[in-house]
Amino acid sequence: MKDSQQQAQACVIWMHGLGADASDMAGLADQLLLPDVAVRHVFIDAPVRPVTLNGGMAMPAWYDILGMELVDREDKQGIEQSDSLIRAVMDTQLSDGFTHDKLFLAGFSQGGAMALHTALHTKHRLGGVIALSAYLPLARENRPDLDKSTPFFMAGGQYDQLVLPTWTQQSHEWLKTHGYEKIAFHQYAMEHSICLEEIRDLSQWLSSQVEGAL
């Protein structure tokens, strides 16, 4: 957990990508430029589980992935298990004094997919949702509870071969179709990664959301 020197005005809960760990997102959070707001960053490690796509090798994964197609990435049981883990972390932050509208769910790749899934099944307005190089899993059966005024930051790489740009775009369109209009959507000239321009844009977006909620 990383707190600013002054009392935190918001809390960002971070979920890493497949095979990574919490230090990955801690490195990203350290690069954010948030001079005017005090933000608590909380980093979660995914459970270790066999991943079919990687020959059954056990690694940190929020859910199993069977193949390269989007429909191969919908391990409902694993997603729901990880959803419970994330909600337990949210409950801890709520007990520590944050309200739902001061909580941000954020993640990269699989972690971003979990941020979208868990947020959309939350019956409150959140401070925001950050989905980097990600997509919405289980979209066909998703009946969202999340308050429509919740803002989103969605971004991805134009040359991403792991999370295809069309998947990110489809998730963006799904959100708009379901009444979510406050979406900052970006595509950058990169593959499956994070770029400096993205960090700059995310820093500006997160600062404005925190400041606007004060």
* DSSP symbol at 187: E
> What is the Cα Rg of the chain in Å?
16
Q: What is the pLDDT of residues 138-166, one digit of tens each?
A: 999 999 999 999 999 999 999 999 999 99
Output the DSSP codes for 173-202.
HHHHHTT---EEEEEES-SSS--HHHHHHH
Alpha carbon distance 133, 111 (integer Å)? 9
pLDDT at 174: 97
Tell me the pTM: 0.94
Q: What is the pLDDT of residues 121-140, one digit of tens each?
A: 999 999 999 999 999 999 99
What are the domain boundaries of the chain?
10-212
| CATH architecture group of domain 10-212 | 3-Layer(aba) Sandwich (3.40)
- Is the model's pLDDT at 6 over the cut of 80? no
Which amino acids are annotated catalytic? Answer: 109, 160, 192
Q: Which of 122, 106, 137 is nearest to 12 (CA)?
A: 106
130 sits in which H/E element = strand 128-132
Q: What is the pLDDT of residues 10-35, one digit of tens each?
A: 999 999 999 999 999 999 999 999 98
**Residue 53 dihedral angles phi and psi, to the nearest 5°:** -55, -30
Q: What is the pLDDT of residues 162-195, one digit of tens each?
A: 999 999 999 999 999 999 999 999 999 999 999 9
- Is the model's pLDDT at 5 over the cut of 50? no
How buried is residue 5: exposed, middle or buried, by Cβ count under 10 Å (0-12/13-18/19+)?
A: exposed
Alpha carbon distance 200, 173 (integer Å)? 24
| Spatial contact of 96 and 55, defined as CB atoms under 8 Å apart | no
pLDDT at 21: 95
- Is the model's pLDDT at 4 over the cut of 50? no
Q: Which two tokens stand for residue 165?
A: 């740009």
| Spatial contact of 183 and 176, defined as CB atoms under 8 Å apart | yes
**Residue 184 dihedral angles phi and psi, to the nearest 5°:** -90, 115
Q: Which of 161, 76, 151 is nearest to 114 (CA)?
A: 76
pLDDT at 125: 97
pLDDT at 107: 98
